Chain A
Amino acid sequence: MIKFLSVTKVYERPEPALSDVSFHLVKGQFAFLTGHSGSGKSTALRLAHMVERPTHGEVRASGFSSERTSRRDVWKLRRKVGYVFQDFRLLPGRTALENVSFALEVTGSPKKQIVARAQRLLGQVGLAPKAGAYVDQLSGGEQQRVAIARALASAPLLLLADEPTGNLDERATRGIMDLFWEINALGMAVLMATHDLELMRRYPTARVLELDQGRLVYDSLRNEDAVGIRDAPPTSDGGATKVPVGAPNLAQDEED
């Protein structure tokens, strides 16, 4: 689904935002991408969505390579890779249904099916009763559900989420995480950037990738004892065994 091959991203600052990062997220896998602010989480997601291109190395996402996908063709990737933001990025002044319909319309869904499909997607995220409500009147959790429904509009196989619960309270966070978990159970790979350790502990079977100053310093799949953070929390205070990460060699058998 996503493959980072020795990816380095340098902006104007001398120190790179990402430095020689390699990992492979396979189909149906759920992974947390964690690290402090400025560790490179968002940069990694933006590279996976080809909003940016790596300075060195290669990013492959849903079969698209950063080396071979022209700017003109990026839309094809975007239809296979959903993206959810912390701040929802919905269109204000429009209803939940209109926001989801907009995504369907601009990606060329047949006109007659748009409303029915948008309603079905809102039903999938548990918002069917509020389809007609203006997004400005919805709670944070509800707005994020609308954003998730929109991200699912083109039936992607991979969902990228950048701190999707960052603006939500405890209860809404739980609801959104359960929703991501359900979506993942249907076979969709999820790569979620978060720095919420409590949140990660609640999903111990998820893979954890930790970035620090642009370097991948921990990958739970490379820890022999752990398949998740319950056994090996990726924090210095949690007693985790941090394994330095070199070339990716686990879970590499499945192609994109």
Chain B
Amino acid sequence: MLYTVRETLIAFKRAPLLTGLSAAMVGLALFVVGLFGLATYNVALYMETLEERVEVVAYLRDQASTADIANMEEALATLPEVLGVDFVTKDEALARAYEELPEFSEILTDLEVNPLPASLEIQLRPGSRTPVIADLIAQQAALYPIVEEVQYGEEWVDKLFTIRRIGGVTATVLGAAFAVVAAMIIGTAVRIAIFARRDEIKIMQLVGARDGFIHRPFLLEGGITGALGGLLAVALTYTTFWSVLNYIFDISWIPWAWAATGVSIGVLFGVFSSGYAVRKHLREV
């Protein structure tokens, strides 16, 4: 182990520019992955706030009795997909209309009869805010005779999920592409390091060093390069986040677990791409 650490440090000392450049290139590639992470995370947060508004509204007939409404409210609230059910009286509906539609306040004031129906607003649990479940709950609600009509903004919910899916696929594909770029950069950097030490490797093979023994300094070197790149990527992503937050608009920082995962992935990429490069080299000599 001492040999591995010493040889790795010697390699860094011998070619600090190479190490620095490799780490910087890996850092930039992972930075792009980080930016996607940041964007995806914030889009997901925004989508969640939008999704919270996915609710099924059952408009009730004027003749509905309080007991029937209470029964229906209770029955719906027990469904596993349902987070809660709110009863909105005709008066509350009118008050909301005043608030939300000030341009119609005059018309609303002149009304002799309140035309707005009472309703049950059914909120769905996170994870159940999908078009399929919303439709299912809507169908269940429509079965009650006291219900006049059920609405849940079908088109809107559908669009929301399409956007979310496109966003997810784009982030995954682009993130994976840049992750591959990072792996290739580390592999190339290690190959250069191997080339610089090819004589040493040949002598090690000549005198009977085990392959694992020859591999280890390169694996450690790749791992450290990956870690440095990962840390650089986190620093760059954080700087971007900070600048956007302070000068452009309000966004949230990704969970630190994501950042830690990113650095760990950098390390793993470093180790695997070095392992691949050094194994390939040893097979060739």
Chain A interfacial positions (CB closer than 8 Å to B): 71-72, 75-79, 83, 89, 91, 102-103, 105-108, 111, 150-151, 153-154
Contact = CB atoms under 8 A, between A and B. Distances in A.
Given A78-B205, A83-B206, A89-B199, A106 B211 contact: no
B206 A107 contact: no
A158 to B, nearest CB: 13
For chain B, which range describes its interface: under 10, 10 to 19, 20 to 34, or 35 or more residues? 10 to 19
A175 to B, nearest CB: 23
B199 A106 contact: no
Contact of B203 (A103, A111, A154): A103
12 contacts: A76-B208, A78-B208, A79-B207, A79-B208, A89-B199, A89-B203, A105-B3, A106-B213, A107-B207, A108-B210, A111-B2, A150-B203
B209 interface: yes
A154 B207 contact: yes
B200 to A, nearest CB: 6
Nearest to A151: B207
Contact of A106 (B2, B207, B283): B207
A150 B204 CA distance: 11
Contacts of A103: 203, 207
B280 interface: no
Given A89-B199, A103-B203, A107-B209, 6 more contacts: A71-B283, A75-B208, A78-B205, A89-B203, A102-B203, A153-B207
A76 B207 CA distance: 10
B283 to A, nearest CB: 8
Contacts of B203: 89, 91, 102-103, 150
Nearest to B6: A105
Contacts of B283: 71
Contacts of B207: 78-79, 103, 106-107, 150-151, 153-154
B165 interface: no
Contacts of A89: 199, 202-203, 206
Interface in B270-285: 283
User: Which one of A75, A91, A102 has the greatest number of beta carbons of chain B within 10 Å?
Assistant: A75
User: Which one of B199, B200, B210 has the greatest number of beta carbons of chain A within 10 Å?
Assistant: B210
**Which 3 pairs across A and B sit closest by C-beta, in order of nearness?**
A78-B208, A79-B208, A106-B209
B193 to A, nearest CB: 16
B211 A72 contact: yes
Nearest to B206: A83
A107 B3 contact: no
Nearest to A102: B203
A194 B139 CA distance: 94
A148 B190 CA distance: 31
Contacts of B205: 75, 78
Contacts of A77: 208
